[in-house]
Structure 1
Amino acid sequence: MLSMRLARHDMDASKSISKGQKELIGIFSTLRDLNLDGKIVDRGSDQLGKGSSSDVFQAKLRQSGELVAVKRIRHFLLEDISFARSVGREVRLWSRLKHPNVLPLIGYFLEGTMVIVNLVSRWMKNGTLKKYMSNCGPYGSLNTFQTCKMVMGIAAGLNYIHCTHRMIHADLKCENILVSDGGEPLLADFGLSVSSSSTSLGDTTCHGEKGSLRWMARELLSTPFNSSALPKHTKMTDMWSFGMVISVSEIHLSKLQSGCLFMF
């Protein structure tokens, strides 16, 4: 079905889709084993989550009935070829990750002539680490055992992407860590992730203007005087963000409005 979709798009590409969308079609054509076209049913109309570039819905796998999360990329953003490439990079990197503390990518499907991209992963009823903590008692904090379990699991997942895949997450925070039914943390949202080695995946660095302010290392917030070079995310800046996650997991200060209080 994907080949038919690609053929249809190719016939009218100049009229209906942007250069970024055409490039994405080419990327997805190399990932046919992840294509879930026609295999997702009962997608709800209610938006159950959102990010800066996507909305999340609940659906089911047609064959098994398993609940899944569908991350729908906002199609107008794909007109920007650099953003389209970042989506392609996210899918290729994410599809390679297989670890107990990394949320697995089940696959993707494309919708309509606008080439709306949907990424599919397992549904986690506990939600994000931030939500999970808010449900842990009146003060919204984890006990000692829960904190240790979370910290060790996040560290294991981060070590895996750093050492096994030479990846940098670049946006580690409580909202990008999901909690499994068994209480295990799962790293998620690899939209800003990059390879730290030169590969065919495209860009190998992620500049410091991208990310979430409250969780970012201080060096990402400053540019040398008279320098046009932007600071870059590294494994070390990931570790800073990991430290921020530990701080919030221990004392749950996520309700404070000013994230800058943590940085200095």
Structure 2
Amino acid sequence: MSFNAGENIGPYRIIEQLGQGGMATVYKAYHAALDRYVAIKVLHPAFNEDNTFEMRFQREARVVARLKHPHIVPVYDYAEHEKRPYLVMKYIEGDTLKARMAKGPLSSDDIRKVVDAVGSALAYAHRQGILHRDIKPSNVLVASDGQMYLADFGLARIAQSGESTLSSDMIMGTPQYISPEQAMGKKDLDAGTDIYSFGVMLYEMVVGQVPFSADTPFSIIHDHIYSPLPLPHTVNPNVPEPVERVLLKALAKDRADRYEDVTTMVEAFKDAWEEAGIPMQGTMVQLRKDRTGSGAKATQVAQPQAEPTKMAVKSEPTKMAAKVDVAAPAPAVKKKRSPWVWVGTGLVIVLCLAFLGVARNNRLFARLIAASNRPDATATVFLPSPTPRPIQPQPLPTFTPPPAGPALPLDVLDIQKRANENPNDIDLQLDLAVAYWNANLPDAAYQTIDRIIKLAGTENEPFYIKAGERFASQGKGWLPAAVMYFQAVKRYGLVGAPDELRDAFQEAYYKGAERPETPGILPFASIGQVNQPIALIAQSRHAFYAGRLDEARTLLNQVKQLKPNMYEASLLEAEYFAAEGEPEKAGLLTRILTSDLSVPRWIRIYAEEIQKRLPQ
């Protein structure tokens, strides 16, 4: 649930929402007892998935609240409201450093203030044994009087060390500022990770852009770990050589090659400017549009550059009234969830095409068309329909139930007998379909599902959701679950299914795509007419499990071109890397997915399962 304006949260009255990020939502509130405004940061409900979180939250909040420094946003209080933990902090009227940098190059005085404020705040916290882990311009607040504050100290610390899908020891913010060791998920982090992130900020202020930027978070993080740092003077010829030396040392890949502590780095940075004999004046450059990686030649421009791509993890809003850790999303890479509202066109005849059922030679049920014989199983790229059409009801063929016989298990025989005696009871028919599935009789299950759909009609959403959940709970019943969920999804037509229903269908279709009969049950071509990326994802996974690895990769690459930051594409690529013996690449992708609370829960859970199977 969200907090609403005018609502009382303990002794605080909510005034307005200030911003929302990947880990929390921030509100302005009024504390009547002390007659002052405060900022309330409400943590994402996904943290409640971890049953140890409440205890960790209280422990870590106490630690963070003890930080007393003129350049650290103070924490006044912490509590919980309707199972939503929150922190109460000083409300700072002002702007973020990110917003200031977007307006143009920083002055000498501004750069000096940033270096002094952030440097002293980090040095103090490190002496207390506390790391920040998410240093970036949007976490540096500039008050109306010019005072600078480092925000969100300890938020990443609070979010870590649990047992849920968030416990990857790396709650990532913006990949452009992450250290190599944090990106690799190393647990023994020290001050070096903040030194690296602070070094990226210095690089950005001096050179005019972050060192690594690309279309996908995976590419950015990969560059932080493996790619040489673009030499500052090659990007911006105005960077003095002494300053370049400081940046190279601060951004060394190996922790041992960086500065020992923040204070030493700050002193070296200031000495370098004095040695160069020029004022600390920021510059602003921008990469050419044809560059998607790092280290490109830059062109001097007058206008400011927006902060680079946010990770496939949730972009943070631009407005941040003083203490919000959220950053503006890149204008060129606007992240938008793949809507399932269009899924449905042409799929009303899906189950009609799935069966040719005629019983013969004493077989219990008619065999489905072999998936390999269907044209849908090829690597055809399906173009989306210009205008998705509402789904129209279609008549379904009639099938005869498989006859009872000694080949059926006794429990199936019993359910079959009761279902035959009550042919219009959809709950009994569902029991029979599930029993067939669990007895490894998929064709019989599909035939029974077809009868169920005829009985349930087109408006029985609660039943179809219940039926989907029944099949999904059977472990490998994802494809029949997808069929059932689809019956509920398609009734929404152009209006759009609820997020929870859409995610349930998407999970079932993704996981069910590994079965050989998938093209005959939920044809890729039909889904591709209304949602090409999802169709390609399922088709790619189907090809992979069928052993057509080149085709699978080709289809996945097409998805990445269509929608670079698609969560399902990252999950699928992690599966491929893991299977292909590239655990480091697989681990990077799974950590990105598990650390982003905007990623659907099923994807985070599945990514963590992949991560656990990787060699340690």
1:132 is aligned to 2:100:
yes
Deviation at 1:67, TM superposition (A): 1.9
Q: 3-state SS of the aligned residue for 1:151?
A: helix
What letter is aligned with 2:125? I
In structure 1, the partner of 2:125 is 161
Contact 2:176 2:213 (8 Å CA) reproduced: no
Q: Identify which of 25, 36, 40 aligns with 2:12.
A: 40
Using the TM superposition, name which of 99-108 and 178-187 deviates more. Answer: 178-187
**Aligned letter for 1:174?**
P
Matched, 1:249 2:205: yes
- 8 Å contact kept, 1:171–1:193: no
- TM-score normalised according to structure 1 size: 0.66
- In structure 1, the residue matched to 2:171 is 210
Aligned residue number for residue 25 of structure 1: none
1:179-190 equivalences under 5 Å are 179-189=142-152, 190=154
CA distance 1:132–1:107, shift in 2 (3 Å):
farther
Q: Is the 8 A contact 1:207 1:233 kept in 2?
A: no
- Give the AA of the match of 1:107: D
Residues 3-14 of structure 1: pairs in structure 2 closer than 5 A = none
Preserved contact between residue 220 and residue 232 of structure 1 (Cα < 8 Å): no
Residue 209 of structure 1: how far off its partner (Å): 3.7
* Aligned-partner Cα distance in 1 for 2:192–2:80: 36
Aligned residues: 204
The CA distance in 2 between the partners of 1:181 and 1:79, in whole Å, is 39
Give secondary structure in 1 for the equivalent of 2:68.
coil
Higher strand share: 1
Cα separation, partners in 2 of 1:252 and 1:172, compared to 1, 3 Å: same
Please state whether the residue corresponding to 1:97 is helix, strand or coil.
coil
Q: Deviation of residue 59 (structure 1)?
A: 1.1
- 1:257–1:49: structure 2 CA closer, same or farther, 3 Å change rule? farther
1:184 Cα deviation (Å)? Answer: 2.6
How far apart, in 2, do the equivalents of 1:57 and 1:252 lie? 32
- Residue type at the aligned position of 2:117: G
Match of 2:140 in 1: 177
Corresponding residue number in structure 2 for 1:108: 78
Identify unmatched segments of 5+ residues in structure 1: 1-35, 195-201, 224-229
| 1:82 to partner: Cα distance | 4.6
Are the counterparts in 1 of residues 23 and 44 from structure 2 also a CA contact under 8 Å?
yes
Give the CA RMSD over aligned residues.
Answer: 3.0
Deviations 1:41-96 (A, max 9, x none): 2x13x432122121011111113432211111233432312544553344122111
Q: 1:58 to 1:222 in 2, by over 3 A?
A: closer
The answer for the alignment partner of 1:3 in structure 2 is none
109 and 52 in structure 1: CA distance in 2 versus 1, 3 angstrom threshold: same
Q: Report the alpha carbon displacement of residue 246 of structure 1 after superposing the two structures with TM.
A: 1.6
Say which SS state the counterpart of residue 92 (structure 1) adopts: helix
CA gap of 1:142–1:86, structure 2 versus 1, over 3 A, is: farther
Choose between structure 1 and 2 for higher RCO, CA contacts under 8 A separated by at least 6 residues. Answer: 1
Counterpart of 2:11 in structure 1: which amino acid?
K
SS in 2 for 1:47: strand
Deviation at 1:243, TM superposition (A): 0.7
| Offset at residue 127 of structure 1 (A) | 3.2
- The percentage of counterpart residues that share the same residue type is 25
What is the CA distance between 1:192 and its match in structure 2?
Answer: 1.8
Deviations 1:122-144 (A, max 9, x none): 1222232212333xx4x2x3111
Aligned residue runs from structure 1 range 18-97, under 5 A: 38-41=10-13, 43-44=14-15, 46-97=16-67
Q: Deviations over 1:92-116 (max 9, x none)?
A: 22111000011001113432xx322
Query: What is the one-letter code of the residue matched to 2:178?
Result: M
The separation in 2 between residues aligned to 1:104 and 1:221, in whole angstroms, is 28
1:127–1:87 Cα change, 3 Å: farther
Q: Say if 1:87 and 1:191, in contact at 8 Å, map to a contact too.
A: no
Cα contact 1:57–1:70 (8 A) shared by 2: yes
SS in 2 for 1:71: strand
Match of residue 9 from structure 1: none
* Cα offset, 1:249, TM superposition: 3.0
CA distance in 2, matches of 1:251, 1:234: 26
Alpha-carbon distance change, 122 to 132 in structure 1, aligned in 2, over 3 angstroms: farther
Output the CA distance in 1 between the equivalents of 2:57 and 2:208.
32
Structure exhibiting the larger radius of gyration computed from Cα positions: 2
The 2-side partners of 1:54 and 1:79 are apart by 15
Letter paired with 2:132: H
Does the C-alpha gap of structure 1 residues 93 and 180 become closer, same or farther in structure 2, counting only changes over 3 Å?
farther
Structure with the larger helix share: 2
Separation in 2, partners of 1:73, 1:64: 24
Which whole-Å deviations, capped at 9, do the CAs of 1:190-228 have from their partners, x for residues lacking one?
Answer: 21238xxxxxxx88xx966433322112233347xxxxx
d(CA) in 2 for partners of 1:117, 1:37? 11
Q: Give the match for residue 235 of structure 1.
A: 191
Give, in whole Å, the separation in 2 of the partners of 1:76 and 1:222. 23
Q: Is the contact between residue 101 and residue 153 of structure 1 (CA under 8 Å) also seen in structure 2?
A: yes
C-alpha separation between the residues in 2 aligned to 1:110 and 1:218? Answer: 35
Deviation at residue 38 of structure 1 after TM alignment: 3.9
